[in-house]
Amino acid sequence: MVNSTRVSYITLAAYFDTGILKYLLFVTVICLYILIVFSDVLLVVVICINRSLHEPMYMFMCSLFVNELYGSTGLFPFLMVQILSDTHIVSTDFCYLQIFHVYSYAHTEFCNLAAMSYDRYLAICYPLQYHTRMTSNKVAVLIALIWIYACIEVTVLVSLTARLQLCGDSLNKVYCDNYSAVKLACYDTTVNNVFGIVYIFTILFGFVVLILYTYIKILQVCFSGSKQTRQKAVSTCTPHLLSLLNFSFGCFFEMMQSRFNMNNVPNMLRILLSLYCITCQPLFTPVLYGLQMSKIRSLCKSLIFGNL
């Protein structure tokens, strides 16, 4: 007989006893979190206080760095607590809140990367019209829409999941995942599945197609343009492309793990893959932009050593 009692707590079953190694894991996680917070805050401050960086490209970067802070802060403290804990149980309400946090971070990341690719497309393909097409007001509106749109769509996604009656209370994850939670439902989940397909479709065939289109156009201009044009395109687009590939790689493996049987994959590898896009992207992005872009790098040095 199906258990119809309301599930109040969820067990995160992917955690396992690491013995004394849990203290080493805790120190590693907290060091990574400190590095992420320091690098992202540093870059946000540098962009905000330097008038020379009040350009569309850097404002989109600032939004990206704020999102990295948002995503990492929603997960790293939780991981620290869970690593040291002997029980890995969370309330269903907290689980839904975490789903909202993780998914809104991921959605905002894709939106930011799509907006940045469009910005580079205008700058390289239409340099003479760039400043009239991408004004400060338009950038501010676009950034606001990115965050609002991501929050609205993820709110609908989580609301559809929260209305379900769950018959299971165990997720083979180290944090709450929407698709895994839906699979615990007692009854029909057609509405959730349809909206999930629409959700993925908007990302894959909306933002990803936009990004691919803009970079195809950028490559066409690079191949037909001067050496200076190619160098400018490479210097400004390389960090963005690497950031996009890194994040897409992590999201792809997380989707594969949620939707297909991965029991043949070692447990530790599954955990690392599920955490990749949420932990490595916030670490990877600020380091990448800080090292690749000489203007940001020099201003960061000036701020740290008190010459700004």
Give residue 164's pLDDT band: very low, low, confident or very high (50, 70, 90): confident
Give the pLDDT confidence of 298-308 residue by residue, as tens digits. 766 666 666 54
9, containing H or E segment: strand 9-12
In three-state secondary structure terms, 261 is coil
The larger pLDDT score, comparing residue 243 to residue 296, is at 243
Write the DSSP assignment of 166-215 as a string of letters.
BS--EESSSS--HHHHHTTBSS--HHHHHHHHHHHHHIIIIIIHHHHHHH
- The full set of domains in the chain, from first to last, is 9-304 (1.20.1070.10)
**Structure letter (DSSP) for residue 94:** H
For residues 155-168, give the mean pLDDT: 88
| Geometric angle at alpha carbon 170, from 167 and 176, rounded to 5° | 110
Assessment of whether the complete model's pTM goes beyond 0.85:
yes
Summarize pLDDT for 65-90 with one digit per residue, the tens.
Answer: 999 999 999 889 999 999 888 888 89
* pLDDT tens figures, 166-187: 888 888 888 888 888 888 888 7
166: DSSP letter: B
Query: What is the pLDDT, as a whole number, of residue 33?
Result: 92
Confidence at 3, pLDDT banded by 50, 70, 90: very low
Average pLDDT over residues 231-239: 72
Q: Which residues have CB under 8 Å from 104's CB, separation 6+?
A: 150, 151, 154
**Cα–Cα distance between 287 and 304 in angstroms, integer?**
15
Q: What pLDDT, on a 0 to 100 scale, did the predictor assign at position 2?
A: 42
- The amino acid occupying position 133 is R
Q: Which pLDDT score is estimated for 68?
A: 92
